[in-house]
Amino acid sequence: MKYTAEHFIPSEYDEQTIECIIDFQDQPVILSIYNGDDNLEDILVDVNKTMEDFEHLNKRGVRLITDELFDAYTKKSAITEEEFMEDIKLVSLYFTGDQEVEFTYEGNKELFGEHILTISLVEGHFEDGVAIDG
């Protein structure tokens, strides 16, 4: 599916952001676009390019989070890496322009608490490091 401006509605939270909700793995995922610089057409190119490879990028993102956080989050838990990965769910994609998109995840509350995990994809490559909020 090719995304156009018509797929998005204004965000309730920011007048310069538009968004739509997609279904992914039986979960809602928010696609947001920051359009403060009025370069919507360029960002839609990024959206469509990302969405063409979306499932693969998501798997890479979950793997990156697992590689970085598995040991720290499972010291007191006897779960496998596969179980850890299954607990990580994509919540949103935030397109900021300049070929950058933030992938935001959350996980099982018992394991992750209220932590939100964010990784950045810039020009098709994930940057090192996971931002942990919450």
Helix (H), strand (E) at residue 20: strand 17-24
pLDDT per residue over 20-35, tens digit each? 999 998 999 999 999 8
Q: Provide the pairing of β-strand 131-133 with 27-34.
A: unpaired
Q: Look at the chain and report how many structural domains it folds into.
A: 1
Taking the CB of residue 73, how many other CB atoms lie within 10 A of it?
21
Q: Determine the structural domain holding residue 122 and report its residue range.
A: 5-133
Q: Which amino acid is at 14?
A: D
Confidence of residue 5 (pLDDT cuts 50, 70, 90): very high
Confidence of residue 58 (pLDDT cuts 50, 70, 90): very high
Contact 19, 9 (CB under 8 A): yes
pLDDT value of residue 28? 96
- Shortest CA distance to 69 belongs to which of 113, 32, 18, 19? 113
